[in-house]
Structure 1
Amino acid sequence: MAEFTPGRRSRKGRPQMPPEVQAVADELSRRAAQMWAEADGELSIAEAVELAAFRMGAEAPQTMTEPQGES
């Protein structure tokens, strides 16, 4: 089985992603590739990406807005 190695894709003709978005995309790619490699054929790369995205979302700090009292 060939190894999946995430890499920068040609973004020709596409707008540049903001650095924060690029950092999240890079982290998602890294985590998905690691999960896929460790799954030993039990996950497709698409499943690994989906799982990595889910886990990243679950790990993100949840911000709650508290109701503000009337002044």
Structure 2
Amino acid sequence: MTGHDFTPGLRSRKGRPQLPPDAQALADELSRRAAQIWAESDGELSIAEAVELAAFRMGVETPQTQTDHRSEP
């Protein structure tokens, strides 16, 4: 791995339910991969774009379809 290793920090989940261990592990991996992609992008990607790309690469993103609401003449 490159010098962009990421370890998720402690979370403040006051008032929020805890994620099941498998979901938390997936969230941590997504966070780590997104941080790595973002760091390697040299400003070309926003962190949101890096998260989307990481999710896509992990195969956890559901396909997003855009609907054009404009009327056809």
> How does the TM-score come out when normalised to structure 2?
0.68
Determine the C-alpha separation between the residues in 2 that align with 1:25 and 1:35: 15
Determine the C-alpha separation between the residues in 2 that align with 1:6 and 1:50: 18
Please state which structure has a larger fraction of its residues in helix. 1
Determine the C-alpha separation between the residues in 1 that align with 2:46 and 2:23: 24
1:6 Cα deviation after fit: 5.0
1:20 Cα deviation after fit: 0.1
Larger Rg: 1
Q: Structure 1: which 5+ residue stretches go unaligned? A: 59-71
Q: What residue identity is the alignment partner of 1:22?
A: Q
Structure 1 residue aligned with 2:10: 8
> How does the TM-score come out when normalised to structure 1?
0.69
Q: Structure 2: which 5+ residue stretches go unaligned? A: 1-6, 61-73
Determine the C-alpha separation between the residues in 2 that align with 1:19 and 1:53: 18
Q: After the TM superposition, which residues 3-42 of structure 1 pair with which residues of structure 2 at under 5 Å, given as runs?
A: 7-42=9-44
Cα RMSD after superposing both structures = 1.7
Identity of aligned residues (%): 85
Q: Deviations over 1:18-64 (max 9, x none)?
A: 00000000000000000000000000000000000011017xxxxxx
Please state if 1:55 is matched with 2:62: no
